[in-house]
Structure 1
Amino acid sequence: MIAKIEKKLDHYYYHQFMGAVLYGVILAIALNYFWKPGHIYSSGFTGLAQLIDTLTHGRVSVSWGIAAANLPLLLIAALKLSKRFAVFTALAVILSALFVPVFSTSIVLTPDPLICAMFGGALNGMAVGTALRFGVGTGGLDIIGMLFKMKFHTKVGSVNLAFNALIMVGAGLTYGWQYALYSIIGVVVSAHFIDVFYTRQQQIQEMIVTNKPEMMCEHIQQKMRRGVTIIDSAHGGYTGKDKAVLLTVVTQHELGDLREAIHEVDPHAFYSESKVEHTGGRFFEPEP
């Protein structure tokens, strides 16, 4: 039993480590191959580090800016979120700071700022969203976003978008206002891809029609930490048989486990899914 638990923990930490590595590599590629040649500023603290690098004429590099700007938030993450989350976030920040000069290149794939903004934003959103999905923070605004989400149930990508006005003004003053507009496009694309890849924050309401409500409820609660509401006395309009309707809310990340649980108990159960904009009350949020 103990060996099984240790194996599961090792597997979990392996995914977190790989999430940190992937984030560092993808961010470095986005910065060196798209943002720099396109004169595009990123969102969040990476964009702030780019702005500091520009204003200091390279005396404070992007790598140093990323590391220095994130230090206070890493301390906050350790206190307010979790120490484990803070450790892997620190790893992601350090790796991204190290990989930026490693992937530095003189190759220009395209000088088109619109293409650079869109592809750089997509890569950044994919990197951040994937890291968060594996329980790894990337520092900066995603920590602030997670704190806002815990408090106000606000999506991470939307919070990031709201905090980037200053960076866009810096882009406009430095390269010209057309590049600020291109950077805004990159930020919007990045925010969208964060919400696409960070499936833990996307909530799905599941309605299940079955003639095995008690077994279904028990199996779902055993498989995942989710409550189920049973509505008795439902009646099939076509079959004429009595049924029960079950309602539960899960995250997109848990949807596969829920479908598996439904199929294991009642392969003939009817179920439908719909996106949830907001939940109140006691909806369990897993530790980051």
Structure 2
Amino acid sequence: MKKFLRMLKNIGAFKLLMLTLAGIINAFGITVFLTPVKLYDSGISGTSMLLSQITPEALSLSLFLIALNIPLFLYGLKKQGGTFTFCAIYTVAIYSVTAWLITDVLPIDVSIASPLAGTDLLLCALFGGVISGIGSGLAIRFGGAMDGIEVMAVIFAKKLGLSVGSFVMVYNIVLYIICGAVIHSWILPLYSIVTYAAALKTVDYIVDGLQREKAAMIITVKPDDIKKQLMAEFGCGMTLISAKGGYSGTDRTVLYFVVNRFQVMKMKDIVQKLDPLAYITLTEVADIFSVNQDKT
């Protein structure tokens, strides 16, 4: 019990609040936009939606979400750790309870059409995907997960020679093929792919941020001039790394410098003006952390 309370303290109230919000948002996107028109989410959520459609009414979406997800999270307990497992199960529980409230308790009719988008499959696919993607992204960003298939991907993808993303994609492709075969129609599975794409892109934005920075590596023989000008122009520091040309053997310096997308062209102009032979590479940076160390 003490260990559990210590874990809750480490997670913190704010993180629990955000995980609660993630579950509620995901349930809203699924039950208000996707379930009414029989579109399918991805992963275990999509599997639960299919099973709830082809089994007796008593076996609801909420029941399948818990029955399929929780064993997967517990199976991955050793690999992912207790804190992640708790956060994931908590988020799925909130998702399941909220889905049950929307479909069975609240005075919202989601039986034959979306209350907001009607029977327009494209609108339902896009908004369902974006809203559920926000929920899934928040869950990942704050240390949890919305779907047990991601845990299985982490455990088994490498053994199968796949990346985590490829494992999830293969699972979803198989899921949509099964959905099409079961309902004898490919229209809904094809629109479900639109949902999956919208959700995937939204998750990227939520987890990595809307505006990704650019990391520039500038290889030059005039590091002092370029460093002085860039620091004066953008008001930030940089890292200098000693290097040597592999072909010429000439001593060079690599300047590591992070800029946003609006500063890229200005940086290029400054560098090319001071050293026309400088070599510049740019890579996307999803997160930037500054770790302050106590030097006392």
Q: Which category of TM-score, normalised to the shorter sequence, fits these structures?
A: 0.5 to 0.7
> Is 2:148 the counterpart of 1:140?
yes
Cα–Cα, structure 1 residues 51 and 208, in superposed 2: closer, same or farther, change >3 Å? same
Cα–Cα, structure 1 residues 19 and 165, in superposed 2: closer, same or farther, change >3 Å? same
Whole-Å separation in 2 of the counterparts to 1:233 and 1:80:
42
Match of 2:201 among 169, 188, 192: 192
Q: Is the 8 A contact 1:39 1:175 kept in 2?
A: no
- The aligned residue for residue 109 of structure 2 is 106
Structure 2 letter corresponding to 1:193 = T
Match of 1:179 among 168, 188, 194: 188
Whole-Å separation in 1 of the counterparts to 2:157 and 2:218:
28
| C-alpha distance after superposition, 1:153-193 (max 9, x if no partner) | 9464x543221123313432327211111111111222222
Q: Which moved more, 1:48-57 or 1:161-170?
A: 161-170
Q: Is the 8 A contact 1:27 1:124 kept in 2?
A: yes
Deviation at 1:10, TM superposition (A): 5.7
- The aligned residue for residue 23 of structure 2 is 24
Match of 1:125 among 130, 133, 146: 133
| C-alpha distance after superposition, 1:197-218 (max 9, x if no partner) | 2229x9964537975xxxxxxx
Cα–Cα, structure 1 residues 123 and 155, in superposed 2: closer, same or farther, change >3 Å? farther
Backbone CA RMSD of aligned residues: 3.7
Deviation at 1:196, TM superposition (A): 2.5
| Residue identity (%) | 25
Whole-Å separation in 1 of the counterparts to 2:241 and 2:162:
26
Cα–Cα, structure 1 residues 183 and 58, in superposed 2: closer, same or farther, change >3 Å? same
- The aligned residue for residue 42 of structure 1 is 41
Structure 2 letter corresponding to 1:91 = Y
Deviation at 1:50, TM superposition (A): 0.8
Q: Equivalent residues in 2 for 1:3-82 (5 A)?
A: 13-82=12-81
Q: Over alpha carbons, which structure has the higher Rg?
A: 2
Whole-Å separation in 1 of the counterparts to 2:133 and 2:89:
19
Whole-Å separation in 1 of the counterparts to 2:133 and 2:139:
10
> Is 2:191 the counterpart of 1:161?
no
Q: Is the 8 A contact 1:41 1:183 kept in 2?
A: yes
Cα–Cα, structure 1 residues 166 and 60, in superposed 2: closer, same or farther, change >3 Å? farther
Q: Which moved more, 1:56-65 or 1:167-176?
A: 167-176
Q: Is the 8 A contact 2:19 2:138 kept in 1?
A: no
Whole-Å separation in 2 of the counterparts to 1:184 and 1:150:
25
Structure 1 letter corresponding to 2:35 = K
Q: Which runs of 5+ in 2 are unaligned?
A: 1-7, 225-238, 246-250, 261-279, 287-296
Cα–Cα, structure 1 residues 101 and 85, in superposed 2: closer, same or farther, change >3 Å? same
Structure 2 letter corresponding to 1:114 = L
Cα–Cα, structure 1 residues 199 and 244, in superposed 2: closer, same or farther, change >3 Å? same
Partner SS, residue 162 of structure 1: helix
Q: Is the 8 A contact 1:39 1:113 kept in 2?
A: no
Cα–Cα, structure 1 residues 116 and 205, in superposed 2: closer, same or farther, change >3 Å? same
Partner SS, residue 76 of structure 2: helix
| C-alpha distance after superposition, 1:108-166 (max 9, x if no partner) | 2221111111111111222112211111122322223444688889464x543221123
Q: Is the 8 A contact 1:15 1:134 kept in 2?
A: no
Deviation at 1:274, TM superposition (A): 1.6
Partner SS, residue 12 of structure 2: helix
- The aligned residue for residue 231 of structure 1 is 242
Match of 1:207 among 191, 200, 217: 217
Whole-Å separation in 2 of the counterparts to 1:76 and 1:123:
28
Whole-Å separation in 1 of the counterparts to 2:255 and 2:158:
27
Partner SS, residue 83 of structure 2: helix
TM-score relative to the length of structure 1: 0.65
Whole-Å separation in 2 of the counterparts to 1:149 and 1:134:
23
